[in-house]
Amino acid sequence: NAGVIQTPRHKVTGKGQEATLWCEPISGHSAVFWYRQTIVQGLEFLTYFRNQAPIDDSGMPKERFSAQMPNQSHSTLKIQSTQPQDSAVYLCASSRTSGSAETLYFGSGTRLTVL
Amino acid sequence: SQWGEENLQALSIQEGEDVTMNCSYKTYTTVVHWYRQDSGRGPALIILIRSNEREKRSGRLRATLDTSSQSSSLSITAAQCEDTAVYFCATDGGSAGNKLTFGIGTRVLVRP
């Protein structure tokens, strides 16, 4: 079991460009979560899917961020027109179910730098 | 302690010492997770304590939960250098199917 796989590990974009981040959850896990981590804000919830359906996107900045889960083996987080304040480590996690007592298994993250 | 607008806390201890870190949460939770994060890695669960438990132990780890004061603590006994990490608590906001909200974290440095 390779764990949660996130690609790329590092991404550098220019201001105004688009960034797409990829996540492959652990096989058999039905819930996938996206978090953003910065020094100032810590770990911020963005969105999550259960059985590929979007359940809660309350943490997503409304205008430029979108997430999809087209199949059970991967999820993407897309940021349009990236801004310097989007620079952060984006973490994907999966869990066996979406129950809050379930362990979240995190990937190593994608470090996004917007110049 | 973690939470709110506090900055990341930092603790520095000598190998072999005990260390305790605290977490205060704002709303009722059915469970408190404690995760550790090593540099360059994602957080990993180390212990979980449910709202009907007051204490949970796992090896050198001890978690406590006081629902009346909405606080939890994590203690590490006889810390080792490999315990150096950032430790986060996380709560579910009272809904068993809800996403987790993480505290700001406590950075622990264990010196040889």
Check if A39 contacts B (Cβ < 8 Å). yes
3-state secondary structure of A69: strand
Amino acid at site A105: Y
Q: What is the pLDDT of residue A111?
A: 98
Contact state of A42 with B104 under an 8 Å Cβ cutoff: yes
| pLDDT confidence band for B96 (50 / 70 / 90) | low
Of A84-93, B17-26, B30-39, B96-105, least confident by mean pLDDT is B96-105
Q: Which two tokens stand for residue B46?
A: 């180390």
Nearest CA distance, B45 vs chain A (angstrom): 7
Check if B98 contacts A (Cβ < 8 Å). yes
Q: Is the pLDDT of residue B2 over 90?
A: no
Could you tell me the sign of the dihedral formed by the alpha carbons of B86, B41, A42, A5, in that order? negative
Classify residue A47 as exposed, middle or buried by CB count within 10 Å of its CB (0-12, 13-18, 19+).
buried
Q: What does the DSSP 8-state code read for residue B2?
A: B
Using one digit for the tens of pLDDT, what is the confidence trace for A5-57?
999 999 999 999 999 999 999 999 999 999 999 988 899 999 999 999 999 99
Among all residues of chain B, which has the CA nearest to that of A34? B99
Q: What is the pLDDT of residue B94?
A: 77
DSSP string, B60-86: TEEEEEETTTTEEEEEESS--GGG-EE
**Closest residue by Cα to residue A49 from A33, A35, A60, A65:** A33
Cross-strand pairs, B98: none
Please report the number of interchain residue pairs, chain A to chain B, with beta-carbon separation below 8 angstroms. Answer: 60
Using one digit for the tens of pLDDT, what is the confidence trace for B27-65?
888 899 999 999 999 999 999 999 999 999 999 999 999
Q: What percent of chain A has pLDDT over 90?
A: 89
Among all residues of chain A, which has the CA nearest to that of B101? A45
Q: What is the pLDDT of residue B1?
A: 57
- CA–CA dist A28, A3 (Å, integer): 11
